[in-house]
Amino acid sequence: MIKRTLYILLIAFLHTNCTPKDNIYTTPTFSKNGTINCVIEIPGGTNKKIEFNPKTHLFEIDQRDGKDRIISFLPYPANYGFIPSTHSDPAKGGDGDALDILLLSEAVPTGSIVEVIPIAMLKLLDNGEFDYKIICIPSDPKKRIIDASTYTIFSEKYIHAKNSIESWFLHYDTGGDKLISKGWGDEEEALKEITKSVVLKNEK
């Protein structure tokens, strides 16, 4: 009986984690509440580089030189993912991907879609391409771990957290190109970047 129960739980786990997420990329950028939707790929505290594969529609560990890409550094300092229905235009210096986000909250499972509020934007240059990181907090106050809803408060009240995030992105990829910091943007600049990157309009 115990073995049968464990088997059922295993199947349920595999189904939850491996089921194709066909519409994940086309999830609206803006929620019905006017906040931003974000898709979590990598839970905070994880050292595996998990990415959504648009070809298989699965969340998979990124490969480098035929091996799983494991961060040989401190794990991700917060939840990492992307803003759906956005595109960083290479013709304008972008990297061709959806906009990246870093969600400051407790760990959130891979594949979760969370409504967030942008409070800052870390501007990075990766091999000549803009690689902006939108820093967010949950729109639900009960899920927040910091008391900052603007860049000014974030910079003043959580300056060490801000500096740690920047330092982490500049040094975590020991086997790749070194990123260059081009400074920070506030919540208005972050929202402007999101808005101009939207490629799929929300359904009415």
pLDDT digits (tens, 9 = 90+) for 133-190: 999 999 999 999 999 999 999 999 999 999 999 999 999 998 777 899 999 999 999 9
**CB 154, CB 160: distance < 8 Å:** no
Domains and CATH numbers, the chain: 21-197 (3.90.80.10)
pLDDT digits (tens, 9 = 90+) for 53-112: 988 889 999 999 999 999 999 999 999 999 999 988 877 767 778 999 999 999 999 999
What is the torsional sign of CA 71, 77, 83, 86? negative
Say how far apart CA 200 and CA 30 lie, in whole Å. Answer: 10
**CB 169, CB 184: distance < 8 Å:** no
pLDDT digits (tens, 9 = 90+) for 108-122: 999 999 999 999 999
DSSP label of 55: T
What is the torsional sign of CA 100, 104, 107, 112? negative
